[in-house]
A and B are shown apart, each in its own frame.
Chain A
């Protein structure tokens, strides 16, 4: 679909003839004709030397102020300690050094700019000039010459004639980037089943994130919120970040008669339920627990889950319920996991199924 099919008369007519710069063209028949550039009007600085000198002094003042500000910057750098706090109304308690350096630097730079612009605006010539434009497109004869040259070059290379050379060259050029692609292979391991497992396993005690002590059912009261990690993990582990990104656990206690989901009740212990803290949407640590409604909200994208009903999604962009961890109590009376999560925690992915 080329636009050549547009009839010429659909395009607006060309503008009128070019006006000459500076001259007021006597309007012809057309009242809307371009009168040409208006005559130049003088600024006060153009006719009054006193005013011009005032401008000169203003520009020089600005440049001098800039110099002073730079001196101030250096002085502030040398004299103000980095931890000095000052109170500036209405900003508040702020770093004296940052404030002083920023303002002096800002002033030093701004004054150079303001001086230059004031100079340009008041003292440099403000006569408007017109420059002719030239078509970007090359004239037909230039184009013809280029085409002829190109044909000659192509001919001489024998590119079109020797197909074997051409095809093998394309092949070589197409293949060679593959080396680069292959090199990217070791950027990371294959997914395998890494996203399906966490540190949780049968018999691992639930360790309170705050106290680092294992939790007993009686510690967890109705209406309270507790976070836990599997026993044996420490913040000093080299893979702590990666492991906690999957293992983080959120524990609440709901009166068993308020639990609507049968499996949730089964997997709980006396109303103590443990859910993954990692949102099933894109993996934020979800934990805005409303203890009266048992809703938990994700602070990133507002997915809302009902912890009293199998943590199903009741609002927002998450696609499935939070995984629940099956828990029980060991012989010492501590809460323990009865296995790993049965489904992958965190955001969904293609192989999740």
Chain B
């Protein structure tokens, strides 16, 4: 494109031309500028996570300008009176400095920490949204794993960050981590010595956690997040069923201008809300906690919420310890340490289990309503129940004092309900889902109950049912229903036994559990509908 045409293009266009010649931005924009995004509040949960992550990075960079990741002992001489002359590590001292002597430092610290709590809470809820609507199905399984990894890495980035100020609370948390590492058979003591540069606490861990917290983990997370986003763009967003919305299209508003304004605006909204929270509510007041000393402790020693379920696991585990041939197996600590990743993995691998059971290899872009996938929904609720019960266990002492309960009783409750709770939750959830499916079926066939009672001439009272319009009818019947997998007869007509592998039997069993009779309510067929509506009977 020659630029010396008769009329000079506007400046903006010329810059764009320049960039296009080098970066090919026009082709990129052609594909993406008017890309369609569906509108639904639950689709913005991921954005809450992304924006709080950006906020964390921005505020984190600011904090590194003032924080000294060193464990050298210094005497405090800052402006907080109740700490004058106390011995503390430079890490703690510089955090005190940020909180009291750097103008706005406390605000940035609090934004950073609140955003971190919200980031991980947001990821949890986002993950549950994806799970319960079946958005993890093909072609999005890989993106599900990316998201899951982000959640796990977020937990560890949070934990290492929480440990940096070297205060009495976080130091206790690090001590716990060290104790947990020691429990690992064979290599535990070596791992601990290498991580801490010798015995606990030593003089190294703050500096080491610092590089993990500000460089290693966030670097990986940033990469994963970009990949996650690229895949969201590439796959195009999922959508709920509705008039005009099919598996082959995506309905919504274009990126430019609506989504750009909404998503861009949402960043500012998220940042604004978190800044306001940081103005109003205190978080991690290290001046009240004091500097870390391995011989001091406070009651109510908990990690940040996202490590709370791990804390619960470790609190309610019985103290099993086996001594064999001069060696100790610290099962009381090691078993929770193993259950912790297994519990997370249980939700991570679920999509692969479901796709194996269904054998469905098609792409899915229409979201399920949770009720229409009762077994999946019930599994998810059971998992959340187990998670929440452990979270409760992690705060057992706080709950004991504030609800006037016995600590020991709560611990026993958690021990039992970690196993019983998910089973109950599974059964109840499945029943509720099936009930809702039945209600949908009734709604389709008989219309919506209007609440208006009519008296017929012969004295009978009936409730008027409003028929649904076609859009609603379509929405309520758009979901797909699988038929359970049958193995068929294991002996053919000649009496020869057919080989059926164990895994195939398991699969058939699972499939029956998912889609068999009583495990889903058959959706109304057009014939049923016509029969009822043509009769115009009042039932």
Contact = CB atoms under 8 A, between A and B. Distances in A.
Q: Would A and B touch once assembled, by the CB under 8 A criterion?
A: yes
B258 A125 contact: yes
A116 B264 contact: yes
Contacts of B365: 133
A97 B332 contact: no
A130 B196 contact: no
A317 B293 contact: no
20 contacts: A3-B360, A11-B482, A21-B244, A32-B526, A35-B470, A77-B104, A105-B272, A110-B271, A113-B271, A117-B269, A125-B253, A129-B253, A248-B294, A282-B175, A313-B319, A317-B317, A318-B319, A347-B183, A347-B333, A353-B326
Contacts of B330: 319, 347-350
A241 B294 contact: yes
A120 B254 CA distance: 11
B327 to A, nearest CB: 6
Interface in B274-321: 274-276, 278-280, 282, 292-301, 314-321
Given A102-B276, A129-B254, A242 B246 contact: no
A106 B257 CA distance: 25
B293 A241 contact: yes
B341 interface: no
B519 interface: no
Contacts of B315: 301-302, 316-317
Contacts of B293: 241, 244
The 4 closest A-B pairs by CB, nearest first: A102-B279, A282-B179, A110-B272, A319-B321
Interface in A257-284: 277-278, 281-284
B139 interface: yes
B485 interface: yes
A217 interface: no
Contacts of A126: 253, 258
Contact of A349 (B189, B245, B301, B484): B189
A300 B359 contact: no
Interface stretch (B221-229, B471-479, B491-499): B471-479
Contacts of A284: 172, 175-176, 297, 301
B249 interface: yes
Interface stretch (A146-154, A163-171, A184-192, A325-333): A184-192
Contacts of B360: 3, 6, 11
Interface stretch (A23-31, A46-54, A218-226): A23-31
A95 interface: yes
Interface string B174-209: 011011101111111110111111111110100000
A124 B294 contact: no
Contacts of A350: 184-189, 327-330
A285 B257 contact: no
A244 B485 contact: no
A128 B250 CA distance: 10
Contacts, number: 394
Interface string A1-34: 1011110011110010011010000010111111
A322 interface: no
A191 B470 contact: no
B249 A300 contact: no
A311 interface: no
Contacts of B271: 109-110, 113
Contacts of B35: 131
A107 interface: yes
B455 interface: no
Contact of B183 (A18, A94, A315, A349): A349
B243 interface: yes
A283 B482 CA distance: 53
Contact of B483 (A9, A124, A229): A9
B507 interface: yes
Nearest to A116: B265
Contacts of B189: 191, 195, 349-351
A160 interface: no
A114 B246 contact: no
B261 interface: yes
B246 A18 contact: yes
B483 to A, nearest CB: 5
A282 B183 CA distance: 9
Contact of A120 (B262, B326, B533): B262
Contacts of A33: 470, 474
Interface residues of B, number: 141
Nearest to A91: B280
A310 interface: no
B443 interface: no
Nearest to A247: B295
Contacts of A18: 246, 248-249
Interface in A284-303: 284-288, 299-303
Interface in A109-147: 109-117, 119-121, 124-126, 128-133, 135-136
Given A287-B297, A299-B300, A109 B328 contact: no
B326 A82 contact: no
A299 B396 CA distance: 11
A300 B272 contact: no
Contact of A130 (B36, B195, B361, B396): B36
Given A31-B526, A288-B299, A299-B297, A190 B359 contact: no
A170 to B, nearest CB: 26
A106 B275 contact: yes
Contacts of B484: 10
A107 B253 contact: no
The residue in B190, B396, B526 that gathers the most chain A C-beta atoms within 10 A of its C-beta is B190
A156 interface: no
A242 B261 contact: no
A347 B179 contact: yes
A6 B248 contact: no
A113 B244 contact: no
Contacts of B314: 282, 301, 317
A352 B87 contact: no
B279 A98 contact: yes
A12 B319 contact: no
Contacts of A214: none
B388 interface: no
A121 B261 CA distance: 9
A245 interface: yes
Given A227-B295, A316-B315, 12 more contacts: A36-B244, A105-B107, A117-B261, A125-B258, A133-B250, A188-B197, A241-B201, A248-B295, A285-B297, A303-B319, A318-B319, A347-B333
Contacts of A318: 319, 332
B170 interface: no
Nearest to B89: A241
A339 interface: no
A213 B265 CA distance: 64
A2 to B, nearest CB: 9
A228 to B, nearest CB: 10
Given A284-B301, A319-B320, A120 B258 contact: yes
Interface in A78-111: 82-83, 91, 94-95, 97-103, 105-111
A101 B270 CA distance: 17
Nearest to A103: B279
A40 to B, nearest CB: 11
A37 B244 contact: yes
B408 interface: yes
B471 A242 contact: no
Contacts of A282: 175-176, 178-180, 182-183, 314, 333
A174 to B, nearest CB: 22
B216 interface: no
